[in-house]
């Protein structure tokens, strides 16, 4: 295997992790990041963003020996806790006993990945903004933000891990036959905080993901290790109930009193936060191909998705796993590695983009409905009894390494079967019967 | 009505026509075009591109008093002539008797529109490349290509009629919540020429659009006034039969001998043209919104489509008709004009984009099938008898001013009915029967 010089644009989660995988294969790896070194400055401007790490992400961390360490700082979330308007709670387990998704701090995880990359010999360069690139040659020009000097970076391969607004992808977009789309959904989001209680403990069930499902919008909350929760309101920009109509903190407070009373009661700084925290938009990015000559895209740069399946980071990390497998398979044949990567991975990227939008409807609307919770119970029971015949869609996406595209295909088949089951007369009484089980078996 | 200063980027077909409509409303209008004045140089680098003008385009030309003049230099095409591999012909009328689409020269029409714009007092500026814009203010910076000087252009409204690769749209794309997609289809195209015969006359039926439908690809030919035909091969870039596999003129000639023998026999310069003429790609552009502040998009800049319905220019011209109606409706209320324009017109732009791809399948595949020609015959007869109940989709798109979105909706309903009709046993014998007519009536 020939050692190559590989340059990566972006030291985010995916760029940092990929750099370690490439270094492990014996390459000289440089990472150019436009922001300052987050380990020396405040994390993400002080915003406490957390992510839900699940099996695909864990596998990728395992490949660089980092999973055990990260598990210690991650909070398992075993179930969804749904908050009704009257404050009453209902519950839905994510998987079988002990299966959980894990709340981790984006900043903390990113810093740890950078640290490991440097320990293993990856060269990190900060404050380096990508100005332009020659895609066919894999050459890029970066400008150092402090010195103001521009310099050309050459190598055998240039990888854009520079996120949803990738500078390298913007270059590719100008090349012939490069298909591209950026689709903003009608909802945006605003983060709010539930601080720890007086005893420093979490004020709601800690090891859970909290949802206030309200049909066309929702509030969610994920636990942080310091006893706080980060809440996120997903809400339309325009229309009757929207960011557009909640202009003042007073209007927002009044709305929260009606809709999210139990959450509001735990938010002492609601008014300040409503005004100070930004209202951010949500975009889905699709493109193809994922490489031109000696320049390739990975992670959000090639497939940014909405956050509702908690699979943004996990799919980017799985990109690294797949890329690593292809390096093992094709050795020095880099054109084949890049061709195979985009060809194999594109259908999965498209599938998780669709699944993530589907899960938004499930979270904000279906989880508030009794029939849906019953359906999940029927599926869980059937899956327990026939684990070889039925893995619920959520479990395939979250707790397995089944290709996303395959999970979506099977999920659609399951949908059709469950639609038939849920239409049975008095299903709420007979759901546990042999008759239902036999019918499901017959449809598989 | 207050006279405004309005700047347009792009003196193409839509920019030139729109400038006349704006001038008619009493505004001061400037058009900035990045190419040289086509009236003083060769037209489109000598390539003879022709377009199919139909009723929506005619109406827009009528609004500026240009339709009669253009009709004199346009060639009516009354029907499709399908060429089978063995050289045998079949026919399909486009509409009722005397209904036709019209082959016109893009360059000639564009030059005439520029001429009229200047005659009416519009200011045209050439060799002016748009470098940047302040969208909210409607201000743009242009660089004169000959002098090299950059200058700022201010006004009350800035309109991007600068085509599928619009510089103004590229600016908008960087603004938050601007949805955008560029989708390249798998086919490209290459133009070839059938010169006039020795007598200077057309060597195939003149007043027709010729199609060589071959399933996944096709050749078409449109007549020019000089006795020649402009042929276009629509062909995949990659795969078994593709531009990728026809690398040499000899390979292409051999393929044409098998597939398009009668056409090849009329192409004396085939080998040279195959090499010299570019292989061009086909892109579908979608975006939303169509304006930001005082900057708006129109025509291909906001909705570029594939050419298979002959509606690219017609839809851009219809944009001008709609824009003019909104100016009449809302007077000086420019925010309302721009809001209404994008809100009303977007569904129609999306519909014609879909219809154009549908028509590609119809042209390249269905027109070569007997069952399809029978279906069209059934529809035409039924429509003749019940013109208030059934207007064929092609006619709604081409010979009416029904909104594209409405045409698509009705077309889908017609599809379902015709699918049932064509599935009747021995439909080829009973197609003309009262039974079929009664069944169609019952389904409406």
Render pLDDT for B422-443 as a digit per residue (tens, 0 to 9).
Answer: 999 999 999 999 999 999 999 9
What dihedral angle (degrees, nearest 10) is formed by the CA atoms of A324, A329, A331, A337?
A: -70
Of B176, B179, B183, the CB nearest to A179: B183
Burial A48-62 (b: 16+ CB within 10 A, else e): bebbbbbbbbbbbbe
Contact B180 A178 (CB under 8 A): no
Q: Are residues B315 and B387 in the same domain?
A: no
DSSP-assigned beta bridge partners for residue B151: B142
In a domain, B20, yes or no: yes
pLDDT value of position A43: 52
Q: Would you list the DSSP string of B208-238?
A: EEEEEE-SS-EEEEEE-TTS-EEEEEEEESS
Neighbours of B248 (CB within 10 A): 11
Contact B177 A184 (CB under 8 A): yes
In a domain, A214, yes or no: yes
DSSP-assigned beta bridge partners for residue A388: none
| Chain B residue closest in CA terms to A177 | B184
Cβ contacts of A289 on chain B, cutoff 8 Å: none
Q: What is the extent of the structural domain holding B23? A: 5-60+105-181+283-359
In a domain, A25, yes or no: yes
Of B176, B179, B184, the CB nearest to A179: B184
In a domain, A85, yes or no: no
Q: Are residues B10 and B131 in the same domain?
A: yes
Q: Are residues B333 and B424 in the same domain?
A: no
pLDDT value of position B47: 46
Residue-wise pLDDT for A229-288, tens only, equals 999 999 999 999 999 999 999 999 999 999 999 999 999 999 999 999 999 999 999 999
What tokens does A406 get? 């395959």
Of A176, A179, A184, the CB nearest to B179: A184
Q: Are residues B291 and B438 in the same domain?
A: no
Contact B182 A173 (CB under 8 A): yes
What tokens does A153 get? 């970076």
- Number of structural domains, chain A? 3
Output DSSP code: residue A84.
P
Of B177, B181, B281, the CB nearest to A181: B181
pLDDT value of position A42: 62
Q: Are residues A201 and A277 in the same domain?
A: yes
Residue-wise pLDDT for B321-351, tens only, equals 999 999 999 999 999 999 999 999 999 999 9
Residue B178 in contact with partner chain A when CB distance is under 8 A = yes
How do strand A208-213 and strand A79-83 relate by DSSP bridges? Answer: parallel
In a domain, A84, yes or no: no
Contact A182 B181 (CB under 8 A): yes
Longest dimension (CA), chain A: 74
Residue-wise pLDDT for A128-151, tens only, equals 999 999 999 999 999 999 999 999
**For residue A166, what is the domain's CATH number?**
3.50.50.60
Q: Are residues B28 and B142 in the same domain?
A: yes
> A174, A180, A244, A284: best mutation site toward chain B, by most B Cβ within 10 Å?
A180
pLDDT value of position A50: 86
Contacts of A177 (CB under 8 A, 6+ apart): B184, B237, B281
Q: How big is chain A by its Cα radius of gyration, in Å?
A: 23
Cβ contacts of B237 on chain A, cutoff 8 Å: 177
Residue B180 in contact with partner chain A when CB distance is under 8 A = yes
Cβ contacts of A281 on chain B, cutoff 8 Å: 176-177
What tokens does A154 get? 């050459």
Give the mean pLDDT of A70-84.
96
Residue-wise pLDDT for B290-326, tens only, equals 999 999 999 999 999 999 999 999 999 999 999 999 9
Closest listed residue to residue B284, CA positions, set B189, B228, B354: B354
Q: Are residues B325 and B400 in the same domain?
A: no
Q: What do you get for the CA distance between the two ends of chain A, in Å? A: 47
Contact B182 A178 (CB under 8 A): yes
Longest dimension (CA), chain B: 74
> CA-CA distance, A196 to A205, in Å (whole number)?
12
CA of B275, closest CA in chain A: separation in Å?
19
**For residue A252, what is the domain's CATH number?**
3.30.9.30
Cβ contacts of A178 on chain B, cutoff 8 Å: 182, 184
Q: Are residues A240 and A373 in the same domain?
A: no
pLDDT value of position B2: 87
Output DSSP code: residue A241.
S
| Residues of chain B with confidence (pLDDT) below 70 | 1, 42-48
CA of A163, closest CA in chain B: separation in Å?
15
pLDDT at A47 exceeding the cut of 60: no
CA of A281, closest CA in chain B: separation in Å?
7
| Chain A residue closest in CA terms to B183 | A179
Of B177, B181, B184, the CB nearest to A177: B184
pLDDT value of position B41: 79
Q: Which of A359, A392, A419 is the last residue of a domain?
A: A359
Q: Are residues A13 and A111 in the same domain?
A: yes
> A167, A169, A182: best mutation site toward chain B, by most B Cβ within 10 Å?
A182
Q: Which of B359, B378, B413 is the last residue of a domain?
A: B359
Peptide bond into B440 cis (omega under 30): no
Cβ contacts of A183 on chain B, cutoff 8 Å: 179, 181
| Chain A residue closest in CA terms to B176 | A281
> Residue A193: pLDDT band by 50, 70, 90 thresholds?
very high
Q: Are residues B33 and B122 in the same domain?
A: yes
Q: Are residues A417 and A373 in the same domain?
A: yes
> Which sign, positive or negative, has the C-alpha torsion A218, A166, A296, B240?
positive
pLDDT value of position A45: 43
pLDDT at A48 exceeding the cut of 80: no
Q: How big is chain B by its Cα radius of gyration, in Å?
A: 23
In a domain, A193, yes or no: yes
pLDDT value of position B49: 77
Contact A181 B178 (CB under 8 A): no
What tokens does A288 get? 């193809």
| Chain A residue closest in CA terms to B186 | A177
> Residue A46: pLDDT band by 50, 70, 90 thresholds?
very low
Q: Are residues A109 and A191 in the same domain?
A: no
- Residue B432 burial by CB count (10 A; 0-12/13-18/19+): exposed, middle or buried? exposed
Which residues 148-177 on chain A approach chain B with CB closer than 8 angstroms?
173, 176-177
Contact B182 A176 (CB under 8 A): no
In a domain, B100, yes or no: no
Whole-model pTM?
Answer: 0.91
Cβ contacts of B286 on chain A, cutoff 8 Å: 181
Pair B195, B228: CB distance under 8 Å: yes
Cβ contacts of B177 on chain A, cutoff 8 Å: 184, 237, 281
Size of interface A-B (CB pairs under 8 A): 36
Q: Which of A241, A259, A281 is the last residue of a domain?
A: A281
In a domain, B397, yes or no: yes
Mean of the per-residue pLDDT values of chain A: 96
- Residue B271 burial by CB count (10 A; 0-12/13-18/19+): exposed, middle or buried? middle
> Residue A178: pLDDT band by 50, 70, 90 thresholds?
very high
Q: Which helix (H) or strand (E) holds A222?
A: strand A218-223
Residue A279 in contact with partner chain B when CB distance is under 8 A = no
Closest listed residue to residue A212, CA positions, set A239, A240, A188, A234: A234
CA of A183, closest CA in chain B: separation in Å?
5
């Amino acid at each position: 295997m020939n050692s190559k010089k590989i340059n990566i644009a972006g030291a985010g989660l995916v760029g940092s992790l990929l750099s370690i995988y490439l270094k492990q294969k014996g390459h000289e790896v440089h990472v150019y990041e436009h922001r300052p070194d987050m380990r020396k400055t405040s994390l993400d401007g002080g915003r406490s963003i957390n992510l839900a790490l699940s099996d695909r992400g864990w596998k990728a961390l395992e490949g660089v020996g980092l999973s055990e360490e990260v598990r210690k700082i991650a909070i398992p979330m075993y179930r969804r806790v749904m908050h009704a308007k009257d404050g009453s709670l209902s519950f839905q387990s994510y998987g079988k006993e002990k299966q959980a998704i894990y709340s981790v701090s984006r900043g903390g995880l990113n810093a740890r990945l950078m640290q490991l990359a440097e320990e293993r010999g990856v060269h990190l360069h900060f404050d380096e903004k990508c100005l332009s690139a020659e895609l066919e040659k894999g050459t890029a020009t970066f400008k150092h933000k402090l010195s103001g000097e521009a310099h050309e970076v050459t190598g055998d391969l240039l990888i854009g891990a520079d996120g949803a607004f990738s500078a390298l992808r913007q270059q590719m977009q100008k090349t012939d036959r490069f298909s591209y789309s950026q689709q903003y959904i009608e909802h945006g989001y605003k983060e709010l905080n539930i601080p720890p209680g007086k005893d420093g403990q979490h004020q709601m069930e800690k090891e859970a993901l909290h949802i206030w499902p309200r049909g066309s919008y929702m509030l969610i909350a994920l636990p942080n290790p310091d006893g706080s929760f980060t809440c996120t309101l997903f809400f339309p920009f325009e229309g009757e109930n929207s960011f557009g109509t909640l202009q003042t903190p007073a209007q927002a407070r009044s709305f929260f009193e009606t809709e999210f009373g139990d959450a509001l009661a735990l938010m002492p700084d609601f008014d300040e936060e409503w005004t100070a925290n930004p209202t951010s938009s949500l975009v889905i990015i699709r493109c193809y191909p994922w490489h031109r000559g000696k320049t390739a895209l990975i992670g959000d740069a090639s497939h940014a998705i909405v956050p509702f399946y908690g699979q943004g980071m996990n799919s980017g990390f799985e990109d690294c796993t797949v890329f690593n497998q292809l390096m093992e398979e094709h050795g020095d044949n880099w054109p084949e590695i890049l061709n195979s990567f985009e060809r194999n991975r594109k259908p999965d990227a498209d599938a998780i983009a669709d699944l993530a939008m589907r899960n938004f409807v499930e979270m904000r609307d279906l989880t508030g409905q009794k029939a849906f919770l019953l359906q999940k119970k029927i599926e869980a029971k059937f899956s327990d009894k026939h684990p070889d015949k039925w893995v619920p869609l959520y479990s395939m996406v979250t707790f397995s390494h089944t290709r996303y595209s395959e999970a979506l295909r099977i999920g659609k088949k399951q949908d059709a079967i469950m639609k038939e089951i849920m239409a049975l007369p008095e299903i709420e009484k007979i759901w546990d019967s042999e008759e239902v089980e036999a019918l499901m078996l017959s449809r598989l």
